[in-house]
């Protein structure tokens, strides 16, 4: 089967005096190499995006992380300069794609901001500045220009025994990186918390009754997707389900290629 395509969320960013729809290279490379799919970057057109047409062209959705925060009014939170930056065009685009993708049973991998979007899209809420809550770890990245330092592993998480995630990575503690200041407060409808950090912050979720792989992680498996076993397993499982989805959509094509 030809390598199926996956829609990849972008950020709206300012660069060289103009606005771009872009994402970090590491998400794109992880999708291409560790999930073995063809990543297609989706522009943040919000309501102007023909989501049906985009999702007709792909067999999976990858929601990336971002320094921007989901707009708090979307979950009844407080909008404030301290909570910025925001990216309303990304919110509108991701929410529209998410709703439709889940309805279609499309495989979904949601990373960091992506997990937070998934939770809010399902009616859940977020807490902010979690590092200032008594007893919590500091989940923010160290302030460093060195990417390896910013994405270095920081704390452990543990998948709940019997969860989908435990089926993939086991239920022993594993170390993950951490680059966020917000987290799930109240899980949305059908959002199942599958792993937590030592301070109880939700680190992985799945979508109850999803017809395909549908998982969100609060850490960044894309950073070491080619050599870290936990990250490899996540991207591989996502890619496998993307291929299974494509095979269900195009059974004739698979049969022709199997014969060749
Ligand atoms: N802004 C949210 C989501 C965090 C997130 O997706 N971080 C990715 C940062 C990537 C980078 O710094 O290069 C939050 O803070 O919780």
Does residue 220 carry a catalytic annotation? yes
Domain assignment present for residue 124? The answer is yes
Q: How many domains does the structure of the chain reveal?
A: 1
56's CB contacts (< 8 A; 6+ apart) are: none
Q: Give one word for 241, left, alpha or beta, with left for phi > 0 and alpha for psi -120 to 50.
A: alpha
Please tell me the predicted confidence (pLDDT) of residue 231. Answer: 98
Task: Point out which residues pair with 161 in neighbouring strands.
Answer: none
pTM over 0.80: yes
The per-residue pLDDT for range 190-237, each reduced to its tens digit, is 999 999 999 999 999 999 999 999 999 999 999 999 999 999 999 999
| Residue ranges making up the domain that contains 121 | 5-128+181-259
Domain assignment present for residue 241? The answer is yes
> Of 139, 155, 180, 220, which is the active-site residue?
220
The per-residue pLDDT for range 121-172, each reduced to its tens digit, is 999 999 999 999 999 999 999 999 999 999 999 999 999 999 999 999 999 9
Q: If pLDDT is split at 50, 70 and 90, which confidence band does 37 have?
A: very high
Domain assignment present for residue 155? The answer is no
Domain assignment present for residue 73? The answer is yes
Domain assignment present for residue 29? The answer is yes
As given in the structure block, the two tokens for residue 120 are 């809010």
Q: What's the DSSP call for residue 116?
A: H
User: Which helix (H) or strand (E) covers residue 174, if one does?
Assistant: strand 174-176
- pLDDT(259) > 80: no
Domain assignment present for residue 135? The answer is no
Could you tell me if the CB of 184 is within 6 A of ligand 1?
Answer: no
Could you tell me if the CB of 69 is within 6 A of ligand 1?
Answer: yes
Which of ligand 1's atoms lies nearest the C-alpha of 116? Answer: 3
116: domain CATH number?
3.40.50.880
Which of ligand 1's atoms lies nearest the C-alpha of 64? Answer: 6
Asked whether this complex has an ipTM greater than 0.85, the answer is yes
Say how many Å lie between the CA of residue 180 and the centre of ligand 1: 5
CB 65 within 8 A of CB 114: yes
Domain assignment present for residue 174? The answer is no
Closest CA to 218 of 187, 176, 255, 186: 176
Which of ligand 1's atoms lies nearest the C-alpha of 147? Answer: 13
Domain assignment present for residue 107? The answer is yes
b or e along 6-23 (b: 16 or more beta carbons within 10 Å of the residue's beta carbon)? bbbbbbbbeeeeeeebeb
């Amino acid at each position: 089967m030809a390598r199926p395509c996956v829609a990849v969320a972008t950020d709206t960013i300012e660069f060289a005096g103009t606005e771009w729809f872009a994402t970090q290279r590491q998400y794109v490379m992880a999708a291409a190499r560790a999930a073995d799919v063809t990543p297609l970057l989706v522009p943040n057109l919000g309501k102007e995006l023909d989501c049906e047409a985009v999702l007709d062209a792909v067999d999976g959705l990858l929601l990336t992380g971002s320094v921007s925060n989901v707009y708090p009014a979307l979950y009844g939170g407080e909008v404030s300069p301290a909570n910025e930056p925001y990216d309303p065009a990304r919110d509108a685009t991701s929410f529209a794609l998410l709703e439709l993708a889940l309805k279609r049973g499309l495989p979904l991998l949601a990373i960091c901001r992506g997990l937070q979007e998934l939770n809010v899209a399902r009616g859940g809420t977020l807490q902010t500045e979690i590092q200032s809550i008594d007893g919590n770890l500091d989940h923010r990245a160290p302030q460093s220009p060195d990417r390896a330092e910013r994405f270095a592993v920081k704390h452990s998480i543990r998948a709940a025994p019997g969860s989908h995630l435990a089926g993939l990575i086991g239920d022993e503690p594993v170390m993950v990186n951490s680059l966020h200041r917000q987290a799930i407060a109240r899980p949305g409808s059908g959002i199942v918390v599958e792993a937590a950090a030592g301070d109880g912050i939700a680190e992985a979720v799945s979508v109850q009754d999803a017809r395909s792989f549908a998982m969100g992680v609060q850490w960044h498996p894309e950073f070491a997707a080619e050599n870290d076993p936990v990250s490899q397993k996540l991207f591989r499982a996502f890619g496998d389900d993307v291929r299974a989805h494509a095979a269900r959509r195009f059974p004739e094509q698979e049969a022709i290629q199997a014969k060749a």
